[in-house]
């Protein structure tokens, strides 16, 4: 709420009317003193199942026992409130006619709702570090080689060893192939029920989000690819110096070597910590008699006030993102004990920057917990590098060009004027095709060249003369001319050799190797120029190109007599023959034309199979196509002279 509240206050200060919508899921958080934001209106929504006590987030396993070291599923409890919140928000938004909406992108439903009610400029916010599910709609890749997964991060951070990179790759692959679809499977049915089956896909709505504002600073985040849609405004949550309560102030002021703050955030109820772990903490503190330790066991806004004090020497923290940002902002090193969600990632990030010592909360449940805490505190308090690193980071935060508030105001106003800023999106894999997106075609070409010219002695690499010993790469199911056109298009975009004689072979090759742009160009060849319109119709059906298939059939209908005399007609299969002969729209010179075409096709198939053109074999070749001939439409003369007399099928 701090992040969104600071955004709201900044926009109000720039002269804008701002409304805040908040969904309250945590009753414990409601006991916190509420920051008074200078907004036009504040809408607090408490779902029915929270009001009635049917749902208590603090009774979920990870919140009920946050110190047991279990993993946490961040997504699956979010969808329950969508329907109720959607109705209330929709009514308010329609009444107010908002120009811009800023919504946290923990799920996609808010953007769907605001799209439904016609808000043109949709902006995302994120109080966490970036992760795959959020950036994927903008075309931003997540490279598993050095971008560790946010919710299952590797201990090596961006410098992972082989095993960590392998595990990280599997985790990212799971998110990409399964988790993203799982989240959509929870959200899309709710959206479809509320807004109708023809509502745009969530993926497209998210791609049209104009900008994403993050609570990050580029000097603290771990390295990862981003795009110009990502605007870092970390530090926008300003902490002004405030007076401490007299009792706490006296403790801090009178400490000999300084004071250490201990706080585990909003969701971690200290009462859930086992007695053995509490005792390990207290006994560890006793090893540092010249320091005072203030353990925050009640929820309040005192953490930030304490961090501002010049005698604070360390911060024992769960590493929530706000807590880490506050520690950096005031130059306080961290003893990181992450509990759940993104906190482990934040701890690894802080450790990688040299401002934190990290401990595993699971190891604090067993023997040796006291010594682990003592060692960790000793490093943070007595190794000057941690304080030096965090002081330097503090200076970079404060001196970052273009302040967070200025960036927020100017970009929000820019987006309000121009709405969708899709020029800032990176290309999707679906747009380029898998081969081009991952440069698989380039790699294959290099491998092929390497196979031919890799050995100078065998293949004459030095003089670029291939010997007869070079291995041959065969592509048996693609015509040579089509393959040549495809390579020419990939590397030079030259389509001068694409024409009606090879267009369908090129279409087949472009579909086989996933080159959508080339497939589109091959379909633009006029039908009258095609060497084989029957093959074109067959491929259109294979690739489910309904409009294209209809156009090909229309052309066949108009030119049936001529096309039935072509050699290409004899190459079609029985299924296509049935579809064509059974059409009522064929413009032919009487039903006898269909009979002659069927007979000619059957004889050709008999010859192809090396069998006699007998009546029995003809019937076998035609199969169900024989039933497509309307024999009653033949005149008696045609039937007796062309069929009965020749005894071709009887």
Position 52 scores a pLDDT of 53
Burial class (CB in 10 A: 0-12, 13-18, 19+), 601: buried
- The whole-number pLDDT of residue 374 equals 92
DSSP state of 232: E
In a domain, 468, yes or no: no
Is 274 in contact with 365 (CB distance < 8 Å)? Answer: yes
Residue 328 has pLDDT above 70, yes or no: yes
Structure-block tokens of residue 535: 């093959």
| The token pair that represents 447 in the structure block | 């491998």
Mean pLDDT of 97-116: 82
The reported pLDDT for the residue numbered 211 is: 93
Q: Is residue 233 part of a domain?
A: yes
Does residue 351 fall inside a structural domain?
yes
**Residues 55-92: tens digit of each pLDDT:** 455 555 545 555 555 544 444 444 444 444 455 555 55
Q: 216 and 273 share a domain? A: no
One domain for residues 290 and 147? no
Confidence of residue 391 (pLDDT cuts 50, 70, 90): very high
CA nearest to 540, candidates 577, 507, 572: 507
Same domain, 267 and 376: yes
| pTM (2 d.p.) | 0.64
Residue 608 has pLDDT above 50, yes or no: yes
Residue 287 shares a structural domain with residue 417: no
- Res 373: pLDDT: 92
pLDDT surpassing 90 at residue 27:
no
pLDDT exceeds 80 at position 49: no
- Compute the average pLDDT of residues 321-333: 89
* pLDDT reported for residue 641: 63
Does residue 528 lie within any of the structural domains? no
Do 109 and 35 sit in the same domain of this protein? yes
**Res. 381 pLDDT band, cuts 50 70 90:** very high
Residue pair 338/319 in contact (Cβ under 8 Å)? The answer is yes
Number of independent structural domains in the chain: 3
Give the range among 87-91, 174-178, 322-326 with minimum mean pLDDT: 87-91
- Specify if 200 maps to a domain: yes
Q: How confident is the model at residue 342 (pLDDT cuts 50, 70, 90)?
A: confident
**pLDDT band with cut points at 50, 70 and 90 for residue 323:** confident
Whether 248 maps to a domain, the answer reads no
CATH number of the domain residue 608 falls in: 1.25.40.420
Q: What is the CATH number of the domain that holds 370?
A: 3.40.50.2000
Of residues 272 and 416, more confidence is placed in: 416
Q: With 50 as the cut, is the pLDDT of residue 340 above it?
A: yes
**Per-residue pLDDT at 560:** 86
Among residues of the chain, what percentage have pLDDT more than 70? Answer: 81
Which domain, by its residues, includes 35? 2-237+406-424
Same domain, 205 and 280: no
pLDDT digits (tens, 9 = 90+) for 393-435: 999 888 888 888 899 999 999 999 998 888 999 988 778 888 8
> Where residue 300 falls among pLDDT bands split at 50, 70, 90?
low
Q: Are residues 84 and 110 in the same domain?
A: yes
547, part of any domain: no
Task: Give the 3-state DSSP-derived string for 129-141, with helices as H, strands as E and coil as C.
Answer: CCCHHHHHHHCCC
C-alpha dihedral (5, 8, 13, 18), degrees to nearest 10: -140
Distance between CA atoms of residues 211 and 233, nearest Å:
12
Instruction: Give dist(CA 530, CA 507) in Å, integer.
Output: 12
Same domain, 194 and 311: no
* pLDDT tens for each residue of 496-552: 888 888 888 888 888 888 888 888 888 888 888 888 888 888 888 888 888 888 888
129 vs 304, higher pLDDT: 129
Residues 6+ positions from 592 with CB-CB distance below 8 Å: 634, 638, 642
Instruction: Supply the pLDDT for residue 45.
Output: 52
Q: Do 117 and 18 belong to one domain?
A: yes
d(CA 606, CA 90): 69
Q: Are residues 273 and 230 in the same domain?
A: no
Q: What is the pLDDT of residue 462?
A: 45
The verdict on 298 and 186 lying in the same domain is: no
Instruction: For residue 118, give the CATH number of its domain.
Output: 3.40.50
Considering only 149-163, 184-198, 254-268, which range has the smallest mean pLDDT?
A: 184-198
Residue 191 maps to a domain: yes
**456 versus 177: which is more confidently predicted?**
177
pLDDT at residue 467 tops 60: no
* 230 and 281 fall within a common domain: no
* Domain end point (choices 399, 415, 445): 399
Residue 363, pLDDT above cutoff 60: yes
């Amino acid at each position: 709420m701090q992040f969104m509240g600071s955004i709201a206050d900044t926009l109000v200060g720039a002269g804008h009317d701002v409304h805040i919508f908040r969904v309250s899921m945590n009753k414990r958080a409601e006991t916190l003193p509420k920051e008074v934001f200078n907004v036009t209106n504040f809408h607090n929504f408490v779902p029915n199942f929270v009001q009635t006590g049917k749902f208590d987030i603090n009774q979920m396993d990870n919140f009920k026992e946050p110190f047991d070291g279990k993993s946490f599923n961040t997504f699956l409890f979010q969808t329950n409130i969508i329907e109720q919140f959607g109705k209330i928000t929709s009514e308010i938004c329609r009444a107010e006619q908002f120009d811009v909406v800023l919504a946290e992108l923990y799920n996609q439903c808010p953007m769907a709702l605001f799209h439904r009610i016609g808000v043109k400029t949709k902006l995302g916010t994120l109080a966490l570090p970036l992760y795959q599910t959020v950036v994927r709609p903008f075309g931003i890749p997540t490279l598993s080689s050095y971008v560790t997964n946010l919710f299952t991060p590797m201990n090596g951070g961006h410098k992972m060893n082989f095993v960590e990179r392998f595990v990280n790759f599997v985790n990212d692959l799971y998110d990409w192939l399964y988790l993203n679809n799982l989240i959509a499977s929870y959200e899309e049915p709710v959206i479809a029920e509320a807004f109708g089956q023809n509502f745009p896909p969530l993926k497209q709505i998210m791609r049209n989000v104009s900008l994403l504002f993050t609570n990050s600073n580029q000097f603290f985040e771990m390295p990862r690819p981003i795009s110009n849609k990502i605007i870092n405004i970390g530090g926008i949550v300003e902490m002004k110096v405030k007076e401490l309560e007299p009792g706490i102030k006296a403790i801090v002021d009178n400490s000999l070597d300084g004071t250490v703050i201990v706080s585990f955030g909003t969701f971690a109820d200290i009462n859930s910590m086992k007695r053995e772990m509490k005792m390990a903490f207290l006994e560890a503190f006793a090893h540092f008699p010249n320091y005072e330790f203030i353990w925050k066991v009640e929820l309040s806004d005192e953490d930030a006030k304490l961090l501002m004090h010049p005698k604070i020497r360390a911060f024992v923290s769960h590493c929530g993102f706000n807590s880490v940002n506050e520690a950096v902002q005031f130059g306080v090193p961290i003893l990181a004990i992450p509990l759940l969600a993104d906190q482990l990632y934040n701890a690894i990030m802080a450790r990688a920057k040299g401002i934190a010592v990290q401990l595993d909360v699971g190891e604090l449940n067993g023997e040796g917990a006291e010594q682990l805490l003592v060692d960790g505190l000793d490093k943070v308090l007595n190794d000057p590098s941690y304080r030096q690193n965090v002081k330097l980071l503090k200076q970079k935060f404060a001196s970052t060009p273009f302040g967070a508030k200025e960036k927020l105001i100017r970009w929000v106003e820019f987006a309000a004027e121009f709405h969708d800023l899709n020029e800032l999106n990176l290309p999707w894999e679906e747009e380029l095709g898998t081969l081009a997106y991952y440069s698989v075609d380039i790699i294959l070409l290099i491998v092929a060249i390497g196979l031919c010219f890799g050995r100078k002695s065998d293949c004459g690499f030095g003089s670029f003369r291939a010997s007869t010993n070079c291995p041959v790469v065969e592509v048996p199911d693609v015509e040579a001319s089509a393959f040549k056109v495809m390579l020419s298009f990939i590397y030079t975009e030259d389509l001068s050799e694409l024409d009606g004689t090879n267009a369908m072979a090129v279409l087949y090759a472009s579909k086989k190797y996933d080159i959508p742009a080339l497939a589109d160009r091959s379909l633009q060849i006029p039908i009258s120029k095609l060497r084989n319109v029957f093959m074109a119709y067959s491929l259109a059906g294979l690739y489910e190109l309904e409009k294209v298939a209809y156009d090909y059939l229309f052309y066949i209908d108009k030119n049936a007599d001529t096309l039935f005399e072509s050699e290409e007609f004899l190459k079609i299969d029985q299924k296509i023959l049935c579809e064509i002969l059974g059409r009522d729209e064929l413009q032919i010179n009487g039903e006898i034309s269909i009979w002659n075409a069927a007979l000619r096709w059957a004889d050709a198939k008999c010859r192809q199979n090396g069998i006699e053109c007998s009546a029995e074999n003809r019937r076998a070749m035609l199969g169900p196509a024989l039933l497509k001939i309307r024999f009653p439409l033949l005149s008696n003369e045609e039937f007796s002279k062309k069929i009965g007399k020749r005894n071709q099928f009887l």
